[in-house]
Structure 1
Amino acid sequence: MTLDAVARRAGVSPATASRALNGTAPVRAELLDRVRAAAAALGYIPNAHAQALAGSAATTVGVICHDVGDPYFAAIASGVMAAAAERDLLVMLSSTFR
């Protein structure tokens, strides 16, 4: 389920739906109730990756490696993920396959 779907169901813009759900700016109580009700009815769950990329605080660690199936790179990625989890950071892992 997307934020756009929540916004359509609530009859508001995606920006208003985002502000209502994230609390980043004041939203009228009536609109806030409509957005929250639409999100609940649709089973909306915010995308952590999108939130991390859009946020101003650096809460994401990016790892790019040759092949995550390679034991050497897998061990490194595993260590990065463990360290990130201890610090409540999100890891975005990508493979080049080169």
Structure 2
Amino acid sequence: MLERAIRKIQDWYGGYLQEYEILEENDGQIIFLISSSGNYYSVEIARVFAVGDNMEISIDQKIDGLDGFFDLLIPFAKKLIELGKIS
């Protein structure tokens, strides 16, 4: 499932994908922290999950204009998952 989820992220963001970090992985879904750039730089928390044979993506949180802060947000996002704020 991990490989399919990563492909889904790469296809979804195309050339705008900057980097990603896997925050949590379980049988039903994988939660990513993603940085992308288009008209502006953004950081998003995205869930990728299987629906039948297809992979779907859901953007749970999005913050624009955080260029250069991706590495600082990883522990913060993991703590949000631990606290049950993102599931």
What range is the shorter-chain TM-score in? under 0.3
Name the structure where helix makes up a greater proportion of residues.
Answer: 1
Which structure is larger by alpha-carbon Rg, 1 or 2? 1
Name the structure where strand makes up a greater proportion of residues.
Answer: 2
TM-score normalised according to structure 1 size? 0.24
